[in-house]
Amino acid sequence: MRSDTQIFEGGFSDSVLNAQTVFRALMDAMANPGRIVEVSDLATPPAPLTPLAASIAATLFDHDATVWCDRAISGSTASTGWLKFHTGLELTGETADADFALISDVATMPSLESFCRGTSEYPDRSTTLILQIDGFDGAETLVLEGPGIKDSMAFSPSQLPRMFIDQWAGNRAAFPRGVDLIFAGKGVLAALPRTTRIKKTEA
């Protein structure tokens, strides 16, 4: 019974205002890769969805969105029910078919190349990945360069996919095709659009 209740509760208190707040934060992050943008928790979803990832989902997803969720999220009836009720999304089991991906376990996520990179004619028809992480004080520091960044910027998400530098190099090589990443921490988010170049700092 509690699971059923969780599905219907925890959405935006003001759907328009809350969505505008999250959208502005996302646009700020996409325009300034690696910038840590604060945004209040505006949704309270069932685990393993986090409040910020759920807020992003409630902002970006609608009945036209096809979404792939990793095993932890897709295996949670409460989480998938919450997403369907609050966004109207369509779930898919195929990464290549997804407009968006929700990932709670970054360490075991599929490779970036398994997601849709768009086409040469429609590069915008690619997957946007939303990665749930703890924060931005990770042990591994990346140096970001490219559009929206003056000179360079240090970026240290707490979790990164396996072989991330190599995976991102492959993603960059596909430009203008390629996936975009949104990192959802606790009350803060950041983004890596496909235009961003990444290198690892010296230890």
Residue 56 in this model has a pLDDT that exceeds 60: yes
Residue 47 lies in a domain: yes
| C-alpha to C-alpha distance for 178 and 110, rounded to whole angstroms | 15
What are the tens digits of pLDDT across the range 90-120? Answer: 999 999 999 999 999 999 999 999 999 999 9
Q: Is residue 203 part of a domain?
A: no
The count of domains in the chain is 1
- Alpha-carbon distance of 197 to 16, in angstroms, equals 34
Asked whether residue 200 is domain-assigned, the answer is no
Structural domain includes residue 197: no
pTM of the model: 0.96
Mean pLDDT of 183-198: 97
Long-range contacts of 45-48 (CB under 8 A, 24+ apart): 45/6, 45/10, 45/79, 45/82, 45/83, 46/3, 46/6, 46/7, 46/10, 46/76, 46/78, 46/79, 46/82, 47/76, 47/78, 47/79, 48/72, 48/73, 48/76, 48/79, 48/104, 48/132
Q: Are 185 and 29 in contact (CB under 8 A)?
A: no
The answer on pLDDT for 153 being more than 70 is: yes
- Write the CATH number for 56: 3.40.50.11310
Domain contains 54: yes
1 band by pLDDT with thresholds 50, 70 and 90: very low
Which pLDDT belongs to residue 202? 58
Q: Which domain holds residue 62?
A: 2-191
* Confidence bin at 6 (pLDDT 50/70/90): confident
